[in-house]
């Protein structure tokens, strides 16, 4: 398929960025994919897309990242893009408690549309604004632990932990994938789900994401 | 110029003065009751006011002095609507015209008639303005035709107000309508704006508040606190008056062209770098209220883009897919091959009317046409999107994977675009529209 033209990666992982409007999803993405930060990036409309290839051990991984709009009205559209995602960053703004308080709702929506085995990281963004912090680190960490999520605090502005956050998620996905590959022999489609998801991505109709070459 | 217009008008119009043919479309607001009331009252009262400019020595001068009277006559001029009018001969016509002249002169010298806003305008200016506007009102189709290929900057503000249906074609009504609508808007502000911090509205306001600085981040004009406050008020009032959709991201972009165009009325130099503190309070209020009403008119036509699940957008994206599959099978198949879905890039095209894909100056030019075209924003836009997509067919076909295609489609290189590119785009869209209007199955396989 289309990916055959490029030989420089072994995996494509689809990762979605979710969370309330204005928490910094777009800047996390631009920091990770282009090492850029815009003080006033424009609001994301619907879903926007970016990509970056990273090397983990011997594997080259193309992270295909879907940046979704946080606005409630768009969810009918954006939730369609959770399908096939193997990783998610659930982002909140640690200076606005309200954006953290709704994390549970986001999580539910994610699990409603994505596979249950999706790797999820809770991300408290804007750690550069310590004096305005409204969400204590420990509280968020507890929430993450109780829900089986990875957790990090980041700053897209000063770059703290941004690279690490994506790397951790991708590494976790890779680990799961490798295990799965050992157990389920020689299937081309990488999914973290069970039989249901496996059927969805039969060899004939692979998605652009999640394809091993 | 105005004299020329009236000359042409008199030459072309074989009908006698005071024609009662209807002029005003349904989209114009009903006549302001205050105007009708005062007008009739005053006319019946005043019979003996001496005429100041009673020197209708030449026909054209006569025409110039009276032509705006036809506007009034069309609506409430009982003198002309009598059955006998139908069989006027030239003598009667002259007599009638003289009467119009007389009546009109009375109107002009009557100070209370022209309310506070108009009293400082010289009478002659009003007449001149009216005569060209009478032309417009008779030829609103003509105006649309003229505006389709782009409106000159100097007349864009008034043209947009007319095309959007916000400003009545009737000059006599304009001042009052504008005044009334502006008052009405600031009445909303007075009544509702404080509720932005109340529980049931605070989510709406919070969203608007965080979106405003992100609306046009690269244009200095929009970083000014005064401008951001104006946008917040416009969007908040619109949102709470339209609970079926409420505020949806994208609507914030739609205020921008109106704001810039109405601001350009007061700014000769570069609008995008203008410091609005140089304007008077009154000017800013007019710009704000006019932007609000024109944006409301626009949104009335595309509200299903922003209601729950955004059915208008879903429908249009499907229609775009169908259209492209017929006009450029190669591009369509290319998308299918690499599993690119139209919704992935065209959602934004519909939701923001291509404003995210084009520089602001191009959007303004595009809207000249959208407002001239019947259902421009809701229907013609689809053809523009199709033409826009096909414009990049070579670049699209050169990309050979999913990520490359999406990166291209999200960041199409239009930064250098100007009127010429938009003109070509619109011509192609027009061609497509007519192809399908006449033969919807033309390309069906």
User: Which stretches of B328-418 are DSSP H helices?
Assistant: 329-337, 342-351, 360-372, 381-391, 393-398, 402-410
Q: What is the pLDDT of residue B244?
A: 93
DSSP tag of B30: P
CB within 8 Å: A43 and B348:
no
- Among A20, A43, A71, A99, the strongest candidate for a mutation testing the B interface, having the largest count of B CBs within 10 A, is A43
Q: What is the pLDDT of residue A179?
A: 87
- The dihedrals phi and psi of A153, each to the nearest 5 degrees, come to -105, 135
Per-residue pLDDT of chain A (213 residues; tens, 9 = 90+): 444 444 578 899 999 999 999 999 999 999 999 999 998 789 999 889 999 999 998 899 999 999 999 888 888 778 878 888 999 999 999 999 999 999 999 999 999 999 889 999 999 999 999 999 999 999 999 999 999 999 999 999 999 999 999 999 999 999 998 888 777 655 455 555 443 333 333 333 334 444 433
Architecture field, domain B156-300: Orthogonal Bundle (1.10)
Instruction: Give the residue extent of every domain in chain A.
Output: 5-196
Q: What is the pLDDT of residue B84?
A: 39
Inter-residue contact A198 to A206 (CB < 8 Å)? no
CB within 8 Å: A41 and B343:
no
- pLDDT tens digit string along B277-333? 999 999 999 999 999 999 999 999 999 999 998 999 999 999 999 999 999 999 999
CB within 8 Å: B207 and A21:
yes
- Cβ-based contacts of A21 with chain B (< 8 Å): 207, 210-211, 249
- Cβ-based contacts of A47 with chain B (< 8 Å): 344, 347
Q: What is the pLDDT of residue B431?
A: 95
Instruction: Give the residue extent of every domain in chain B.
Output: 156-300, 311-436
Residue B23 in tokens:
């002029």
DSSP state string for chain A: -GGGG--S-SEEEEEEEE-STTSSHHHHHHHHHHS---TTPPPP-SEEEEEEEEEETTEEEEEEEEEEP--GGGHHHHGGGGTT-SEEEEEEETT-HHHHHTHHHHHHHHHHHS-TT-EEEEEEE-TT-GGG--S-HHHHHHHHHHTT-EEEE--TTT-TTHHHHHHHHHHHHHHHHHHHHHHSTT-SB--SS-HHHHHHT-GGG--SSSB--
Residue B68 in tokens:
């705006």
Query: What is the count of residue pairs from A and B with beta carbons less than 8 Å apart?
Result: 87
Q: What is the pLDDT of residue A180?
A: 82
Of A69, A73, A208, Cβ closest to residue B339 = A208
CB within 8 Å: B249 and A45:
yes
CB within 8 Å: B401 and A5:
yes
ipTM of this predicted structure? 0.84
- Among B304, B401, B404, B407, the strongest candidate for a mutation testing the A interface, having the largest count of A CBs within 10 A, is B401
Closest-CA residue to A203 (of A187, A185, A179, A186) = A187
CB within 8 Å: B400 and A5:
yes
CB within 8 Å: A38 and B406:
no
> Which residues are A125's β-sheet partners?
A93
Residue B8 in tokens:
């042409």
CATH class of B311-436: mainly alpha
Domain A5-196 has CATH 1.10.287.1260: no
pTM, two decimals, is: 0.75
Per-residue pLDDT of chain B (445 residues; tens, 9 = 90+): 444 444 444 444 334 444 344 333 333 333 344 444 444 444 444 444 444 444 445 555 545 544 443 433 333 333 333 343 343 445 544 555 555 555 544 444 333 333 333 334 334 334 444 455 555 556 688 899 999 999 999 999 999 999 999 998 888 888 999 999 999 999 999 999 999 999 999 999 999 999 999 998 889 999 999 999 999 999 999 999 999 999 999 999 999 999 999 999 999 889 999 999 999 999 999 999 999 999 999 999 999 999 998 999 999 999 999 999 999 999 999 999 999 999 999 999 999 999 999 999 999 999 999 999 999 999 999 999 999 999 999 999 999 999 999 999 999 999 999 999 999 999 999 999 998 876 656 545 4
Residue A64 in tokens:
């295909």
CB within 8 Å: B210 and A22:
yes
In what helix (H) or strand (E) does residue B262 lie, and over which residues does it extend?
helix B251-263
- pLDDT tens digit string along B12-67? 433 444 434 433 333 333 334 444 444 444 444 444 444 444 444 555 554 554 44
Q: What is the pLDDT of residue B73?
A: 34
């Amino acid at each position: 398929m289309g990916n055959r033209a490029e030989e420089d990666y072994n995996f494509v992982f689809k990762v979605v960025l979710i969370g309330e409007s204005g928490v910094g999803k777009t800047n996390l993405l631009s920091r990770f994919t282009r090492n850029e930060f815009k003080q006033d990036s424009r609001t994301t409309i619907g879903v926007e897309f970016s990509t970056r290839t990273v090397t983990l051990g011997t594997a080259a991984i193309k992270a295909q990242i879907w940046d979704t709009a946080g606005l409630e009205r768009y969810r009918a559209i954006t939730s369609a893009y959770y399908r096939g995602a193997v990783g998610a960053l659930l982002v909140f703004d640690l200076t606005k408690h309200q954006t953290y308080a709704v994390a549970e709702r986001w999580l539910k929506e994610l699990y409603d549309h994505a596979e249950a085995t999706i790797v999820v990281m809770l991300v408290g963004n804007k750690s550069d604004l310590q004096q305005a912090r409204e969400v204590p680190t420990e509280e968020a960490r507890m929430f993450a632990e109780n829900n089986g999520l990875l957790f990090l605090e980041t700053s897209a502005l000063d770059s703290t932990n941004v690279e690490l956050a994506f790397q951790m998620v991708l590494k976790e996905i890779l680990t799961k994938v490798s295990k799965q590959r050992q157990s389920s022999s020689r299937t081309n489609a990488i999914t973290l789900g069970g039989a249901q998801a496996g059927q969805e991505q039969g060899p004939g109709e692979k998605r652009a994401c999640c394809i091993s070459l | 110029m105005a004299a020329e217009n009236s000359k042409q008008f008199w030459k072309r119009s074989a009908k006698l003065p005071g024609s009662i043919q209807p002029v005003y479309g349904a989209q114009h607001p009903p006549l302001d009751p205050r105007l009708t009331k005062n007008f009739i009252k005053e006319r019946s009262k005043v019979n003996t006011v001496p005429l100041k400019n009673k020197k209708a020595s030449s026909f054209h001068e006569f025409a110039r002095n009276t032509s705006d009277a036809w506007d009034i006559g069309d609506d409430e001029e009982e003198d002309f609507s009598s059955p006998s009018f139908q069989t006027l001969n030239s003598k009667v016509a002259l007599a009638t015209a003289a009467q119009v002249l007389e009546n009109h002169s009375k109107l002009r010298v009557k100070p209370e008639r022209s309310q506070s806003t108009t009293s400082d305008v010289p009478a002659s200016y009003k007449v001149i303005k009216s005569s060209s506007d009478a032309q417009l009102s008779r030829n609103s189709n003509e105006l649309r035709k003229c505006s389709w290929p782009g409106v000159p900057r100097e007349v864009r503000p008034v043209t947009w107000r007319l095309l959007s249906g916000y400003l009545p074609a009737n000059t006599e009504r304009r001042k009052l309508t504008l005044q009334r609508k502006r008052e009405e808007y600031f009445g909303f502000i007075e009544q509702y704006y404080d509720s932005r911090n109340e529980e049931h509205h605070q989510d709406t306001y919070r969203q608007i508040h965080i979106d405003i600085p992100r609306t046009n981040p690269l244009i200095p004009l929009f970083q000014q606190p005064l401008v951001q406050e104006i946008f917040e008020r416009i969007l908040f009032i619109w949102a709470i008056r339209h609970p079926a959709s409420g505020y949806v991201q994208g609507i914030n972009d739609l205020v921008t062209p109106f704001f810039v165009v109405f601001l350009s009325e007061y700014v000769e130099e570069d609008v995008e770098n203008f410091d609005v503190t140089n304007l008077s309070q009154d000017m800013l209020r007019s710009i704000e209220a006019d932007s609000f009403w024109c944006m409301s008119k626009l949104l009335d036509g595309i509200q299903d883009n922003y209601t729950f699940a955004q059915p208008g957008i879903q429908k249009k994206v499907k229609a775009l897919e169908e259209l492209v599959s017929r006009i450029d099978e190669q591009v369509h198949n290319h998308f299918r091959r690499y599993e690119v879905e139209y919704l992935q890039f065209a959602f934004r095209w519909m939701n923001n009317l291509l404003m995210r894909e084009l520089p602001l100056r191009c959007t303004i030019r595009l809207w000249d046409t959208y407002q001239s075209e019947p259902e421009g924003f809701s229907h013609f836009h689809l053809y523009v999107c199709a033409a826009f997509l096909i414009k990049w067919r070579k670049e699209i076909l050169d990309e050979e994977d999913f990520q490359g295609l999406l990166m291209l489609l999200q960041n199409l290189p239009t930064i250098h675009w100007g009127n010429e590119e938009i003109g070509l785009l619109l011509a192609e869209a027009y061609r497509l529209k007519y192809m399908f209007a006449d033969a919807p199955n033309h390309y069906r396989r």
